[in-house]
A and B are shown apart, each in its own frame.
Chain A
């Protein structure tokens, strides 16, 4: 089974290459879709195999495969999953299937569009499974390339501006991260005289106190921009509004999680002392983002912008939970990553469906769609309720655990009450803007009937059904997910430092 992860990660990439090489005579879109769909489905099945065979009691990496890549620098191709990345792999592969199937509606250059979607999927999966920091970085940048073209070519509105801003902004972060990655290896080399980019080994290195802050900033900027954490979010509304919806499913559902994943994977274990010093400030930014995004979402009329700003708010929850720096907070964050991936992608699919039916996303332009679209009505309602955090559905579980973690957090102790209040305000706002969106679109009498408005067809129902099922299932039985996450989270939070400089102990007394 050593090859399973490699198979999962490279299958979409391989399919993408095949698709791009194909010479299409006439209209053979069907074949392209067949290949892409088959590859993404196989990937998803592979992820399911992972899920079934995963040993939930084990905290370390599983399904590890390791091959020497650049022997001179001791760079390895090494992949593996633990409880944290497992769910993100499953999520990404699921969203990959949805994205490919939702792409059918794409008229322009479907062949390359699908290929790029698949590359994006590969890159994201790679980030979640990479165990070598250089490999991590390669996949990290691999995510960016297709996203750039997807927004720039197939986008709408001010797409060139949006994609340029998105790419430059994230590139600034990721270059800093590259510096950080090399720096960590150098520190490790200084201590042990061995050159390695192996992430689990590096994580056990005690970073010197005097430079820890600067190293932290290198990593943190990359991840904070990717999630994004307020106030580094300004690329997001432009990129989301311009982005074609199939790509958006992956970008919002999976790629934004890469940032949060990086925070948990690198920042928490590597820089606990810096986080102890600066966690309160980051928490403040995250909590600020929660309210800020929600408040702006209340004022939006464009459905896509509304979901985009609500995403800023929900992603703020994830960041806040991570910096609670305790079990409930981080586990809640991982759960919320999965939840947000499901909910936000489903919301964007719904927005996409409405847009194809009505030709507009402006909330003022349509209402009363319940009558012609009863099936969409039911599914939209369920997703809306999950998004606004209705207890009994999945969103609430994540938010509850996160806020519980924040409340009991030592790191955020001084401000915990304020953060929870801010989050509470955002939850109230969430119910306002989500109901505004749902009721505004689906309820109230229709002035003139849209004749061409048909209810969902089978394919569209198929796109929304997984989300609907998961929303209920996770809400009813979150234990299934949390149980697999918690050993890994405990391991991250209580990581022992094997490699310390001798004066680190004395020099670093009880200062923090």
Chain B
């Protein structure tokens, strides 16, 4: 059965190729459903793999490798294109293809009026292919290939509306920042190859525990370089600035790539390389610290933004921060669990936002919405469910995963009081910005009376309802997830810590955030004017995203351009080029001087000959 795993890669790839070559000759209807079918097919194959894994003992579920073909052989370095089926890759693929399939279906409705409908679906299929490659890769090389290809798909889809200048710029920014991450990973791969003589996961992870002492320089450097890639892809500080801009793409793209799947690849990477990261406790602290700081940082920005998609984008950053906190404190399966529940409710949130934007005729400013609960009942209910799950309301999916993270931030192997405290604040913020958004959008009265919002068609609301079900009930998958994933993480199940005090504080923080939002925004009016004036400097800083973009522009973008210009004008034209020309000029000068002796005047030649002979004679006689 494992030999069918190549279909997971092949189906979306075939979808991409067929749609990009023949798409324009297909009716829209067929093109759209064809794209969904390829992803659905990949999902079914993944289910098959899951079933197959269950026929085996947990310990035997690892390391099922399918080699497709030999890729390159160069002195001492040989590489096959091969696929690794194990609980972690199947778990991740379930999310990718499952949520991906729902979002594909949704897109048929959302993109219905777009002129380039088929190109959109071609790119979406390309993304699913790339993401599957990233997940299924059996070695670091193809991990990097998949890593870069998802970046490419993300670039293509952020800049899907190529005639929109802001989208084009956002796409370029995302691409370049991701290339920085890719370079980090490539160097990490070199170091791994130098250390282990191979890039295969199986061999590397098997050798890792004996190859290093904990916190060796080399393992620290390897894990740090891998992290550069992970942070760039997952929009963690300081490589996060591309994600909010990425919202320029169509909303289903934001749901699929910039919420549910691609941006969580960094968490997957850390989980996948757990054998390496556990050898580097310092790096683990770094991961947890960056994660929790990003959670706070993004959450605080999300509290004051007005663009519906940007609020959710900052929330995504913040939630991925939670996932990094989880893997950083050493509970990998908890991080993966939150990755899954987050995929459900965040995809739902984005799709709901898309439904709102669709119904409001491309309006994204929440100040111009309000009162949508009557016009869009299904969107309203499902959005509420997603908001509750995101905020961590008890018994929703987000509650279970986040509760485990907060608990482990304190009790986990690398957990401590500081991580826990910061996480609690971030949990409170989550409740606040989520419901601020919710009340602005759905409650109160409509603030633009001329708009005539309408509920979205069935093809869009059906995926919403499926995801709403998952967001409500997905939390109960937790024990299954931990059990299923445990072989990958050395067989250990995360310990459940019974600490009623911490649990109560976490729930109280989440509810507190929600209630604050209720108190302030319930009526749909902004009652914060006074507070805003009081806290103006802080508000300004938050509203302008801590000025990070401006700082980068000043510190990096401008100098790079300036130095480029300077090198062209000074070093190139006045330095190298000038000196080469100068050599030529000097040679010409010298030869002009010499040419005096070769003037063609016979009398001068004769004179020279005589002078020469005299000199020689004098020399011979007197010396």
Chain A residues engaging chain B, CB cutoff 8 angstroms: 165, 168-169, 231, 233-235, 237, 292, 295-300, 326-328, 331-332, 368, 370-371, 378, 385, 388, 390-392, 396-397, 400-401, 403-404, 407-408, 420-421, 424, 427-429, 431-432, 435-436, 439, 442-445, 477-479, 482-483, 486, 489-490
Contacts and interface: CB of A to CB of B under 8 A. Distances in A.
Nearest to A431: B179
B175 interface: yes
B190 A445 contact: no
Contacts of A483: 73
9 contacts: A392-B145, A396-B145, A428-B180, A439-B172, A442-B162, A444-B162, A482-B73, A489-B75, A490-B75
A477 B172 contact: no
A420 B176 contact: no
Contact of B163 (A231, A234, A400, A445): A445
Given A392-B148, A403-B190, A439-B172, A296 B179 contact: no
Given A420-B187, A424-B183, A444-B168, A478 B163 contact: no
A483 B70 CA distance: 11
A299 B569 CA distance: 10
B561 interface: yes
A421 B568 CA distance: 22
Contacts of B69: 477
Contacts of B73: 479, 482-483, 486
B586 interface: no
A404 B78 CA distance: 12
B576 A234 contact: yes
B498 interface: no
A331 B164 CA distance: 43
Interface residues of B, number: 52
A298 B152 contact: no
Contacts of A331: 74-75
B270 interface: no
Contacts of B74: 327-328, 331-332, 401, 482, 486
User: Which of A370, A392, A442, A490 has the most chain B CB atoms closer than 10 A to its own CB?
Assistant: A392
A158 to B, nearest CB: 12
B186 A435 contact: no
Given A237-B572, A401-B77, A486-B74, 20 more contacts: A234-B580, A331-B75, A390-B149, A392-B148, A401-B72, A403-B186, A404-B77, A407-B194, A424-B186, A427-B179, A427-B182, A428-B176, A435-B175, A436-B172, A439-B172, A444-B163, A478-B71, A482-B74, A483-B73, A486-B73
Given A299-B565, A486-B75, A385 B576 contact: no
Nearest to B575: A231
Contact of A404 (B147, B193, B581): B193
Nearest to A238: B577
Given A298-B560, A478-B72, A400 B576 contact: no
B259 to A, nearest CB: 24
Contact of A298 (B148, B165, B561): B561
A477 B584 CA distance: 47
B372 interface: no
B273 interface: no
Contacts of B565: 299
A428 B179 contact: yes
B71 A443 contact: no
A400 B186 contact: yes
Contact of A326 (B75, B141, B186): B75
Contacts of B561: 298-299
Contacts of B147: 391
A305 to B, nearest CB: 9
B159 interface: yes
A17 B72 CA distance: 43
B76 interface: yes
B190 A477 contact: no
Nearest to A388: B179
A328 B193 CA distance: 13
A397 B576 contact: no
A130 B152 CA distance: 43
B505 interface: no
Interface string B120-146: 000000000000000000000100110
Contacts of A431: 175-176, 179
A231 B576 contact: yes
Contacts of A486: 73-75
User: Which of B163, B186, B561 has the most chain A CB atoms closer than 10 A to its own CB?
Assistant: B186
Contacts of A235: 580
A486 B72 CA distance: 11
A36 to B, nearest CB: 33
Nearest to A385: B152
A317 to B, nearest CB: 13
B555 to A, nearest CB: 15
Nearest to A406: B190
Given A328-B74, A328-B75, A445-B165, A427 B564 contact: no
Contact of B148 (A390, A442, A479, A489): A390
A489 B168 CA distance: 44
A300 B70 CA distance: 40
B4 interface: no
A378 B162 CA distance: 13
A368 B164 CA distance: 10
A397 B580 contact: no
A250 to B, nearest CB: 24
Contacts of B77: 328, 401, 404
Nearest to B166: A444
Nearest to A237: B572
A366 to B, nearest CB: 14
Nearest to B584: A168
Contacts of A397: 72
B542 to A, nearest CB: 30
Contact of A443 (B141, B168, B191, B580): B168
A361 B231 CA distance: 38
B75 A477 contact: no
B604 interface: no
B504 interface: no
Contacts of A400: 141, 186
10 nearest A-B residue pairs (beta carbon): A327-B75, A299-B564, A424-B183, A407-B190, A391-B145, A391-B148, A443-B162, A298-B564, A234-B577, A431-B179
Given A298-B560, A328-B77, A486-B73, A428 B149 contact: no
Nearest to A425: B183
Contacts of B75: 326-328, 331, 486, 489-490
A370 B148 contact: no
B418 interface: no
A432 B177 CA distance: 10
Nearest to B156: A381
User: Which of B72, B184, B187 has the most chain A CB atoms closer than 10 A to its own CB?
Assistant: B72
Given A328-B77, A420-B187, A443-B168, A368 B567 contact: no
Contacts of B72: 397, 401, 478-479, 482
